[in-house]
């Protein structure tokens, strides 16, 4: 089965810079594949807008999975943020006035 295409016509709400990047990379359209999705992210394209093309039941599932991923992201940033914040606060007392 051939993968459907994301076409330039589907990008009507996108900013000109995003459309230019898309056209340069995929002048005939981009097949809907994980590989192309990862390439789009690497190029700096915002792909979350694609969710608007999902039918309602799939959109609900997308939102459910997105909420799970967001919650996990929030848990993981604790391990980055807390040590850096502790370091900053510890160094605050060591600064010379």
pLDDT of 58 higher than 60? yes
What is the reported pLDDT for 96? 61
What is the reported pLDDT for 94? 77
What is the reported pLDDT for 52? 83
What DSSP designation does 54 have? S
**What percentage of the chain reaches a pLDDT higher than 70?**
97
CA distances from 1 to 25, 57, 86 (A): 23, 23, 54
What is the reported pLDDT for 73? 96
Residue spans per domain, the chain: 1-50, 54-97
- Over residues 59-87, the mean pLDDT reads 96
User: How far, in Å, CA of 56 to CA of 33, rounded?
Assistant: 21
Q: Phi and psi dihedrals of 43, rounded to 5?
A: -75, -5
| Residue 49's pLDDT band (cuts 50, 70, 90) | confident
What is the reported pLDDT for 97? 53
């Amino acid at each position: 089965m051939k993968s459907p295409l994301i076409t330039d016509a589907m990008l009507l709400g996108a900013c000109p810079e995003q459309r230019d990047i898309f056209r340069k990379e995929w002048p005939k359209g981009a097949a809907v594949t994980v590989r192309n999705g990862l390439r789009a992210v690497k190029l700096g394209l915002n792909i979350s807008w694609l969710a608007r093309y999902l039918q309602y039941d799939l959109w609900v599932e997308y939102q459910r999975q997105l909420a799970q991923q967001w919650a996990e992201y929030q848990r993981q940033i604790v391990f980055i943020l807390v040590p850096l914040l502790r370091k900053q606060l510890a160094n605050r007392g060591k600064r010379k006035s």
